[in-house]
Every structure is written in structure tokens, then in C-alpha cells.
Amino acid sequence: MKNDTNLSRRRFLHNTGRTATAVAVVSTFAPGVLSAVPPSKTIGVGCIGLGTRGGDLINAVVNATNVKVTAVCDVYGPHRQKGVERSQNPAVKAYVDYRALLADPNVDAVVIATPDHWHCQMVLDAVKAGKDIYCEKGFSRTLAEAKLMRDALKRSQVVFQLGHHARQATCAFQARQLLAKDILGPVTLVRTGRFKSTEPEHPNWRWYGYYDQWERPDPARVAKDVNWDLWLGPAPKIPWNDRHFWHWRCYWAYGTGYAGDLLSHEMDFVQYLLGHGIPDACCTAGQIALLRDDREVPDTWSAIYEFEKLGRTVTFTGSMNTGQPTQPVEICGRDATLRFDNIAHEVTRFQILPEEHNTRKDLPKGYAWGKSPKQPNHMVDWVDCIQSRGTPKCSTDEAFIETATFLMSLESYRKQRKVRWDAAREEII
């Protein structure tokens, strides 16, 4: 790797580097007319949001062929500096306001890795600016936002990728091919889950800038380095709050909790494998079982999805208070089960487990290299599609399915009852 993904915040603060900041606000953008990009052309990428996930994504994009990170943007000074240092471009521009980055003529495409409450407006503005878009999941916080984003993207010629990188696994590609051949018989049950336990003094989602960083920076210093009004953006206006800044996943104003952060990973992976679309119904239970700090979102989450016409049930069970009951992705058919070795974005192989009544002799034994072409990673898939004007693996339509699915779980939890998907009206009822 050209960069150290785990480069710590302390090293950022002690390193020196070049940074140019701009706060110019551009309110309107002319829609771009996009055509196939010559394979030899260098694609200028702007990275918006360089925190936890954004720091990983800039590492991924700088390693793609025919790509140069030409601009970075973050409202927090040390994160901007992180972007400058990881860009591998001495001429990179650094911006405080993302709208100035979108107006930069050297930016052809953007990677959006901000808290979820900014996704909708940033995607809409990037579409108006004619920029191709990679946006980290979850797609949006509300169904209304998801519809606005989907419709704007589909009216445009923008190449869009949602950041669900489980779709890059070669073993998942192979499993998808096998499932299309109906080797399991009718699939009636799919089981997924996310379990994790951390030290009591390090509750989940309470890190500082990266998943393994637990040392709290001086809030007064951080407040001076953050444009708080820009960070809040469309969220309710509140005084500076460093817990909301660092731990935004714990609060409803900025994200969707377990549903959009963890359940969405698993349900999108199942959608990639089976392609069954938005569920007919969902019933969810959640609670703050143990992590009783000031977080608003549950630390325990269980959802049951029903696909009535298919006779299929998909379950998700999650807890932040135990890591022991590992739940690999399991596709359970009448005649056999396809079991992966891990949760969605960490799968490396699978096995086929026949039922006792299944006497077939030709069942595959499981995943093996060489039977399918190795799949490009999720970022490279997006870059390849920018060049060809093709459709990435987690495109606009798939992003809408992902969002409607996880929002059904959120709505069921909030209403404390089963909810249904009204396909004609595209509403959760």
C-alpha cells in the first residue's frame, strides 16, 4: 500500500504539510454533459470528509489506475491535513466548504464520506455540478431524501456507487452465480447478524477519528479547529458538542443507528446475492441494553423481513455487548444451505451443506480461486465505470433498495409494530 491506513491522529498533528483552504460558497452548478472517459485520461477526484471511513477511502482511491486526488475537503483542520498527506499530490487543494470543491475544474468525481445527514444535499449538489459520485453508506436518513437523490441521479448521466464493499468479494460473485442455478432448492430463510463487544471503558461508536483511537482530544482545541456550523449543516442547530462531533453515529440527528450502519451491510449483501428487492414487511425490536451513556440509538437490534411472494424470511440480529455468537451469512434452501465464513464485508469463502434428503452428486464443494475472474475492489469498480460510463455494482437502483430496506427496520422500531412496503406509492406504511 502507498499509505498507512492506520496512520494515527497524533502523527497528523505533528506532521507538517501543505494546505490551502477555501470557503467560497457556490450556490448553483451547471449540469455536466458526461461521455465515456478515454482510458488514458487521469480522473481528478475530490474527497469530501476525511474522518474515520473517509481516511480509508482516500487510501483506496489513490491506488486506482489513472486517478489523481486533486482536492480534499473537511470542516476539521486535522482531517483536512490527513487528506493532504494521503493524497500523494503536491498540488492538491484543500477546502473547508464542499461547494468550493465542487466548483474546482480539476475535480471530475467526488468521494463523499461525511456523516449521513449531509449525504442528500452533497449528492444533489454533486449531480448539479456534473461530478461522478462515490457515496459511503447509508445512502440517506429518510425515504424522502432517498427519492430525491435517486431521481436526480437517474435524470443525470452521473456514475454513482454506494459504498457497500462486500460486493467486491470474488467468493460472493461465485455464490451469486451458483444461487442463480437454484442449487439450494427454494430459499426460504436467510440468517445474518452483527455482534461485537469492546472493553467497558471503550463503548462501541465512541472512538476518536478511527476505530481503534480511544484517547479523547482536548475539546477546546478541537472546537477551534472545526467549522461547527458547516458540520451541522441541515441538522438541528446546537452549541458545540464534541460527543456529537466524534460519536455522531450515536444520535438520531446525524444517522440511523444500527439500521443504516450495520444492518444495511448485511441486507445489501443478501440483495446482491439474491436480487429479491425491497421486502414486503418488517418487524423490529431494539433497546439500549447496556451502553447507557447519552446515546440515543439502541445497542441491540433484531429485525425480521418477510418476502411473502417468495415464501422467504430474512433475519438480522445484532448486539454491541457480546462478540461470541458469530453469525455468518447463511442462505438456507430446502435442499442445501450456502454458508459464508463471516459477516458480509469480511467474507472470503463459503461452503455448501446438503440436507439429508439431497442425493445430488454434483454439488460444488465451496469457494475456490480460479473458477471466476477475480473481482475489482469496490473503488476500482467505480473508477472503471467512470471510464466506460458503465453501471457500478451498487448503483442508484441498488442504493434505493438498500435504503428502503433498512428504513423499514427503523420505522418498525419507532412505531413499535410491523410495517409494510407499499410498492405502488413507494412508502413505508
Helix (H) or strand (E) holding 409, with range, is helix 396-415
Give the whole-angstrom CA distance, residue 48 versus residue 181: 41
C-alpha cell at 104: 474546482
Helix (H) or strand (E) holding 172, with range, is helix 170-180
Q: What is the pLDDT of residues 318-351, one digit of tens each?
A: 999 999 888 999 999 999 999 999 999 999 999 9
The residues with which 43 forms a beta bridge, in sequence order, are: 67
Could you tell me which residues come within 8 angstroms of residue 186 by beta carbon, excluding any fewer than 6 positions away?
311, 333, 334
* CATH number of the structural domain 169-201+255-375+398-428: 3.30.360.10
Helix (H) or strand (E) holding 187, with range, is strand 187-197
Across residues 6-15, what is the average pLDDT?
A: 33
- Bond preceding residue 138 cis, omega within 30 of 0: yes
Contact between 320 and 291 under an 8 Å Cβ cutoff? The reply is yes
Q: pLDDT confidence of 13, banded at 50, 70, 90?
A: very low
Contact between 340 and 179 under an 8 Å Cβ cutoff? The reply is no
Helix (H) or strand (E) holding 190, with range, is strand 187-197
CA 62 to chain centre: 19
* CATH number of the structural domain 9-158: 3.40.50.720
Across residues 191-208, what is the average pLDDT?
A: 94
Q: pLDDT confidence of 33, banded at 50, 70, 90?
A: very low
Q: Give me the pLDDT at residue 180, please.
A: 95
With the C-alpha atoms ordered 398, 299, 169, 356, is the resulting torsion angle positive or negative?
negative
Q: Where are the domains of the chain?
A: 9-158, 169-201+255-375+398-428
403 by DSSP, 3-state: which? helix
Q: Give me the pLDDT at residue 273, please.
A: 98
Q: Give me the pLDDT at residue 139, please.
A: 96
Give the whole-angstrom CA distance, residue 420 versus residue 407: 11
317 by DSSP, 3-state: which? strand
Contact between 190 and 165 under an 8 Å Cβ cutoff? The reply is no
Q: What is the pLDDT of residues 83-97, one digit of tens each?
A: 999 999 999 999 999
Concatenated DSSP letters of 97-114: SHHHHHT-TT--EEEE-S
Residue 12 has pLDDT above 80, yes or no: no
341 by DSSP, 3-state: which? coil
C-alpha cell at 224: 477551534
Could you tell me which residues come within 8 angstroms of residue 368 by beta carbon, excluding any fewer than 6 positions away?
none
Give the whole-angstrom CA distance, residue 111 versus residue 50: 10
Q: Give me the pLDDT at residue 370, please.
A: 46
Give the whole-angstrom CA distance, residue 274 versus residue 329: 12
User: Which residue matches cell numbers 436480487?
Assistant: 275
Region of poorest pLDDT, from 5-19, 67-81, 360-374: 5-19
